[in-house]
Each structure stands twice: as structure tokens, then as C-alpha cells.
């Protein structure tokens, strides 16, 4: 077991530079349960599941428990600890700043839509 990652340092820096439009700490309830809380009406987070870098422990849990992907996504973070919502123009600089301390990569985009969260593709378990 590893201690919980503390995202305070990098999120404080990004917030002070006004580079973050929203953030969701992905805990119990998974990506959808946590990210939908910050999505305004009329906008949808389109998440490309094939881009998520799943940790091996989650594949083991899925395989041994014979757990469907959707249930895994509703229960665990599957390796995504924090989602930052940023303007496309700021994406590269935010990624660069976060990568000083954490693995950081894009998993989707915000678009106009009725569904607060829309999953595309499947996980690469």
C-alpha cells in the first residue's frame, strides 16, 4: 500500500496561474461519479477510455473478480487520481507543470452535450 498522493502543491500553483477551470479528485464512485459534479449544464466531458493508463492492480481485480468494465469504472479510479479541466490553449503548459511530479496525460475533452459524462472506446486492460 502506498500513501495517498497529495496534489496540493501542483494544484495550488495551477490555480494561482488561473489555468484550471475545474478539478475532480477521482475516489469512490469512479470517474463518472466524481467528474459529473463539476460539469455545468449543457456541457459534457467526453472521456476516451482507451487513453487511460490503467494500473496492473485494477486488471487483476477485474480478472479475478470477473468484474465488467462499467462496474470497474463506477467503483474505482482505475489509475486516474485527479482530472483537471483546462482550456485547450493551456493543455501543454498544464501537462508540463504537472509532469514535474506526476504522470499526466489527456483523457478527453469538454464539448456541448446533455450527458455530463460520455465514455468512448474501451479500456486497454
Q: pLDDT for 54-87, tens place per residue?
A: 999 999 999 999 999 999 999 999 999 999 999 9
For residue 125, being part of any structural domain is answered with no
Please indicate, yes or no, if residue 2 is contained in any of the structural domains: no
Contact 37, 26 (CB under 8 A): no
Residue 7 has which C-alpha cell? 496534489
pLDDT tier for residue 31 given thresholds of 50, 70 and 90 = very high
Q: Look at the chain and report how many structural domains it folds into.
A: 1
pLDDT 10s digits, 84-108:
999 999 999 999 999 999 999 999 9
Asked if the structure places residue 33 within a domain, the reply is yes
Q: Is residue 12 part of a domain?
A: yes
CATH number of the domain encompassing residue 91: 3.90.650.10
- Domain range for 101: 8-120
Answer yes or no: is 40 within a domain: yes
Q: Look at residue 78 and tell me if it is in a domain.
A: yes
pLDDT for residue 1: 62
Q: Is residue 3 part of a domain?
A: no
Residue 1, in any domain of the structure: no
Total-model pTM: 0.91
Residues of the chain above pLDDT 90, percent:
94
3 state SS for the chain? CCCCCCCHHHHHHHHHCCCCCEEEECCCCHHHHHHHHHCCCCEEEEEEHHHCCCCHHHHHHHHHHCCCHHHHHHHCCCCCCEEEECCHHHHHHHHHHHCCCCCCCCCEEEEECCCCEEEECCCCC
Calculate the average pLDDT of the chain: 94
Amino acid at each position: 500500500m502506498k500513501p495517498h498522493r497529495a496534489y496540493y502543491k501542483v494544484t495550488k500553483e495551477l490555480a494561482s496561474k488561473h489555468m484550471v477551470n475545474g478539478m475532480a479528485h477521482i475516489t469512490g464512485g469512479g470517474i463518472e461519479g466524481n467528474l459529473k459534479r463539476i460539469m455545468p449544464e449543457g456541457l459534457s466531458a467526453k472521456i476516451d477510455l482507451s487513453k487511460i493508463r490503467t494500473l496492473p492492480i485494477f486488471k487483476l481485480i477485474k480478472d479475478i473478480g470477473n468484474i465488467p468494465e462499467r462496474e470497474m469504472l463506477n467503483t474505482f479510479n482505475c489509475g486516474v487520481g485527479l482530472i483537471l479541466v483546462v482550456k485547450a490553449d493551456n493543455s501543454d503548459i498544464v501537462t508540463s507543470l504537472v509532469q514535474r511530479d506526476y504522470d499526466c496525460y489527456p483523457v478527453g475533452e469538454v464539448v456541448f452535450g446533455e450527458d455530463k459524462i460520455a465514455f468512448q472506446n474501451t479500456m486497454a486492460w
